[in-house]
Every structure is written in C-alpha cells, then in structure tokens.
Amino acid sequence: MGQRVALVLGSGGARGYAHIGVIEEIERRGYEIACIAGCSMGAVVGGIHAAGHLKDYRDWVSGLDYLDVIRLLDIGFGNLGAIRGERVFGRIREILGEINIEQLPIPFTAVATDLTNQQEVWFQQGCLHQAMRASAAIPSLFSPVRQGSRVLVDGGLLNPLPIVPVVSSHCDLIMAVNLNSIEMDGYSMPVVERPAPIRQQWDQWMTAIKPNWLGRKGEDEEEGDAMALLTAEPALEEAPHSRDEDQLAPVEVEAPPGPASMLELVNLSFEAMQSSLTQYKIAGYPPDVLINVPRRLCRFFEFYRAPELIELGRMVASDTLDQFEQRRRGR
C-alpha cells in the first residue's frame, strides 16, 4: 500500500477544477488519500472525492460549455450575492445524494467563514452539501448561508489553504494545493479538444442572447454587474506569428484590462488578499509537498474551462511530485 496522504485543497474559483487533475495524479502514483481538508472550490472537489463521486462530477463539469455555464446562473435579485447558487449546488446534490460528513469513507473538513463572529468554521460532521455550499459562498458572487445566527461565507476569507485541520491526522505526508501562485514556472494553459469551439459558442451568445438580457430597461445594478462579470469575452489564445530572426524587435505587451465591473473589482481584491494569507499559512505549517497552480492562467470566473484546468492540475502535480520523489531518492 502507498504512503498515506493528508490532502489540503485551497480556494481559487474556477481554478479549483485543477484539484481534480491533482487528485487523479496523486492516486495514479499509488499514494493513498487518507484525509482531506478543503476551502471553497477545494471543499467542493474534496467533498465530492471523499464521497466517491469525483468521476461523476468530472464528467459533468467537463461537458459544460460556455453557454451551459451561463444557463446555470440564477441571478439573485435582492440577495446578498449576485448568484443564488441553487442550480449549481442542486446538480451537485443530485450527484452526491443526501450524505453526512461523518458517513464519508475519507475523513473530510470543509472550512467556511462566520461573518457574525469573525472566525473560521470547520465542518467535520453534518450535511456534506450544506458544508460545501457554505465554504464556497464567495462574497459578492454567491449568496451566503445562514445557520442560526451565523452568516457563513467562503472560507478563503480567513484561511484559503486550510493546512491546520490535517496536521493531527497522523498521515505520512501532507500535500497542499495552492491555487493562488503568482509563479508561472513555464506553464501555459493546455489545449483540449472540445465538441464545439468556444469562439462559436461566444458568437451565438453575443448575437442571440446577450443583447436582450443586458439591454433591458430598469435592470437591477447588481444583476448587471453579475452578467458583465460572468459574460466577459473569453480570453482565447492565438497561435504565435512566425517571423524571421532578422526582423526581431521589442514587443510591446499590453497591460491587462482593468476590472469590468464592481463585482470583478471586489473579487480581484479578494484574490489579492487570499494570495497574501496563503503565504502566511504555508510559512506557519509548511506541507511536505506544495503544488502551486499559476493564478494568472485562468480568471476566477472561467468555469467553462474545466477540461483545460483538470489537465493543468495533472501537469503541475506530475512535475511537483517528480521533483519531490527525486529529492527523496537522493537522500
């Protein structure tokens, strides 16, 4: 039997799909995932894996194209988040069924933030679905979860990489996946073939749906922000142009565009805070293996890029584990 791993899955929006590739690579190498702690999308992917339904979830999200993601949005009129999240988490509930955390074959902790008491909340028992929903309630995007007097939101607000819950697990290794790395390390987004080009789907959206949706008079400002944020044109990479060596000249690189809406401004601020907090958590409790997924390869909201992000997670995990295993053999 392989070494027992305590797996920590961090927050990072759509980049959380990379956790799927990381888990698959860890298990492919013979490691046994013996316990999991997760935050936000890390809690969602970790909880689903602990329940034994990761393949079902992967199949579902890998089949979502750009328009499918738009259709899953349930705009929250008058709510504390732009999206209620009932459609997305309703589908996850269908995949998992009704199950409590203490019934899971793999011990699991979901970390949320209690805004009322300004403290972390660790879900280690009770309804798995509610724990994941609370942990992934990204401020300004998803509506918070009310539990008695508590208002629960994304655990990344206080602990984007929850290492502490697994420190006492008595596993052989602690592996942590940081989705907020600022290092590129030579990585680029993998190219994965899809049934239909994203560009074609975007053109269909622009011509047939978006003008009517965004052009309504009297539209709620919060809804307008949500749609502007989540329907921004996908960043599609173009193949580099070839040129002769004697024509080489300095290349002007355009500055990245600024926030497209108030929601994007809030979430860019949220990501900056998470990056800083993550470094403190790593310094306080250094994991045996730290898998850094580059933040700049994918925007926080690009939930239609699951196949590429899963493959990216597998690639980064493979390279990191290669280096770790080489160091161990060289001792």
Q: Answer whether residue 217 is part of any domain.
A: no
Work out how many domains the chain is built from and give that number.
Answer: 1
Q: Answer whether residue 226 is part of any domain.
A: no
Helix, strand or coil, per DSSP, at residue 85 = coil
Spatial separation of the C-alpha atoms in residues 100 and 197, rounded to whole Å: 40
Per-residue pLDDT of the chain (331 residues; tens, 9 = 90+): 579 999 999 998 899 999 999 999 999 999 999 999 999 999 999 999 999 999 999 999 999 888 888 777 766 555 555 566 678 888 999 999 999 999 999 999 999 999 999 999 999 999 999 999 999 988 767 778 888 889 999 998 999 999 999 999 999 999 999 998 887 667 888 877 665 555 455 455 545 554 554 444 344 454 454 455 454 544 444 434 433 444 444 434 344 455 556 666 776 777 788 888 898 899 999 999 999 999 888 887 888 999 999 999 999 999 999 999 999 887 6
Q: Answer whether residue 240 is part of any domain.
A: no
Annotated active-site residue in 11, 65, 135, 154: 154
Q: Answer whether residue 208 is part of any domain.
A: no
- Which CATH number belongs to the domain containing residue 57 in this structure? 3.40.1090.10
Q: Answer whether residue 37 is part of any domain.
A: yes
Two tokens, residue 246: 């004697």
Helix, strand or coil, per DSSP, at residue 177 = strand
Residue 74 annotated among the catalytic residues of the structure: no
**Domain residue limits at 140:** 4-194+271-330
Q: Answer whether residue 246 is part of any domain.
A: no
Residue 154 annotated among the catalytic residues of the structure: yes
Q: Answer whether residue 47 is part of any domain.
A: yes
Residue 114 CB neighbour total at 10 angstroms: 19
Q: Answer whether residue 165 is part of any domain.
A: yes
